[in-house]
Amino acid sequence: MPILRTLLLGLLLSLSAVADESRKAPDDQPKAVPATRAQMKAALDRLKFRQPRLPLPAPTAEEIERAKQSTATRGLGGGLVNNARMRNHYLPEELRGPSSPSRDPDPVMTLKSPFVTELF
């Protein structure tokens, strides 16, 4: 008899879990994948107005000054880089990596840079 009672209790608990799952709001369920190109474009357009999960903080005076200096030094391609700003703001120091990648050629590399660039 205690085994039957345990089984019945387990069945009731599992049924209540299934019932709770079906009563969830539509926002909790995954969205349907768009089937046509037009539906995909409409879905992507709706994403433009979505609230970002991680807000981009306003640039500091130091970041603005550094961007002006890098623009003057490099010419094309300087300025504020939002990906780098987000990485510096939200990631801990040990996960950030170098602020600017090394441009020195790798001495072990057998192919020259123009050839490698041509491949890609």
Q: Which domain holds residue 92?
A: 61-96
pLDDT interval class at 80 (50, 70, 90)? confident
Residue 37 inside a domain? The answer is no
Residue 53 inside a domain? The answer is no
At residue 41, the pLDDT reads 96
Q: Is the model's pLDDT at 42 over the cut of 90?
A: yes
Looking at residues 47-66, what average pLDDT do you find? 89
Beta-carbon-side half-sphere exposure of residue 105 (alpha carbons within 13 Å):
9
Residue 12 inside a domain? The answer is no
Residue 77 inside a domain? The answer is yes
How many structural domains is the chain composed of?
A: 1
3-state helix, strand, coil in the chain (%, to 5): 60, 0, 40
Are 72 and 78 spatial neighbours (Cβ–Cβ below 8 Å)?
Answer: yes
Token pair listed for 94 = 């040990």
pLDDT in tens, 14-35: 766 655 555 666 677 888 899 9
Q: Is the model's pLDDT at 77 over the cut of 80?
A: no
Residue 78 inside a domain? The answer is yes
At residue 25, the pLDDT reads 64
